Chains A and B, each alone.
Chain A
Amino acid sequence: GENVEQHPSTLSVQEGDSAVIKCTYSDSASNYFPWYKQELGKGPQLIIDIRSNVGEKKDQRIAVTLNKTAKHFSLHITETQPEDSAVYFCAARAGSARQLTFGSGTQLTVLP
């Protein structure tokens, strides 16, 4: 089955700096890659996603890049703010009927 590895497990940045979280996946048939943000005591919330026919996608301060050849994708957050502090999960899915496999999460702390 699919295996998703996520790095780093913890990341601290100064407010205003950029943060990058990286994930690799094993199933070459995976074609959908969402990123979720989970705040303490809450469920994961989708923040951005990318499909395999696109190499990069941006939404304001958040961007995701995908390298299908290397089977890795990354989340980039620019101009970080304290409210960006949370756990971020990447995930991958091979086909619409296949399950979503999550990475192990990255605890991002933005220091004021």
Chain B
Amino acid sequence: EAGVAQSPRYKIIEKRQSVAFWCNPISGHATLYWYQQILGQGPKLLIQFQNNGVVDDSQLPKDRFSAERLKGVDSTLKIQPAKLEDSAVYLCASSHSGSGGAGTQYFGPGTRLLVL
């Protein structure tokens, strides 16, 4: 079974630029998550999708971050404009659950973002 795929693996941008990350979850997984992991900290949930609907985006900085999962499979996370404090690893995870995320979460390798 293929795991969660993410691209790009690394990205370096200057502040105020925009950036987008892509995630392809495990086939058949209805729930998809985006996490932000700052160096030395645990992952923090940004947004959770159930199919193509948002379940929880309470910790997403909506003035600069946006995410979509239009067809209920792949997802993209965008930052515009980026700030220095956005430097982090952005992790995508998916779980097989029809009830909003009760299943085990499987993580992708992450995208490492450096904002200069």
- B43 touching A89, Cβ below 8 Å: yes
A104 proximal to B (CB < 8 A): yes
Chain A residues within 8 Å of B, Cβ to Cβ: 4, 6, 32, 34, 36, 41-46, 49, 89, 91, 96-97, 99-100, 102-105
**How far is it, in angstroms, between the C-alpha of A76 and the C-alpha of B88 when the chains are bound?**
29
Chain B residues with CB under 8 A of A42: 109-110
Q: Which residue of A lies closest to B6 (CB)?
A: A43
How many residues does chain B have at the interface if contact means C-beta atoms less than 8 Å apart? 24
Pairs across A and B, CB under 8 Å, 24 listed: A6-B42, A36-B107, A43-B91, A43-B93, A43-B110, A44-B91, A46-B104, A49-B104, A89-B43, A91-B42, A96-B97, A96-B99, A96-B102, A97-B100, A97-B102, A99-B48, A99-B56, A102-B43, A102-B44, A104-B40, A104-B41, A105-B40, A105-B41, A105-B42
B105 proximal to A (CB < 8 A): yes
Chain B residues within 8 Å of A, Cβ to Cβ: 4, 40-45, 48, 55-56, 91, 93, 97, 99-102, 104-110
Chain A residues with CB under 8 A of B48: 99
- B100 touching A43, Cβ below 8 Å: no
- Say yes or no: A97-B110 contact (C-beta < 8 A), given A49-B104, A102-B44: no
Q: Which residue of A lies closest to B91 (CB)?
A: A43
Q: Which residue of B lies closest to A102 (CB)?
A: B42
**How far is it, in angstroms, between the C-alpha of A72 and the C-alpha of B99 when the chains are bound?**
27
Smallest beta-carbon distance A21→chain B, Å? 13
Of A46, A97, A103, the contact of B105 (CB 8 Å cutoff): A46
**How far is it, in angstroms, between the C-alpha of A44 and the C-alpha of B94 when the chains are bound?**
12
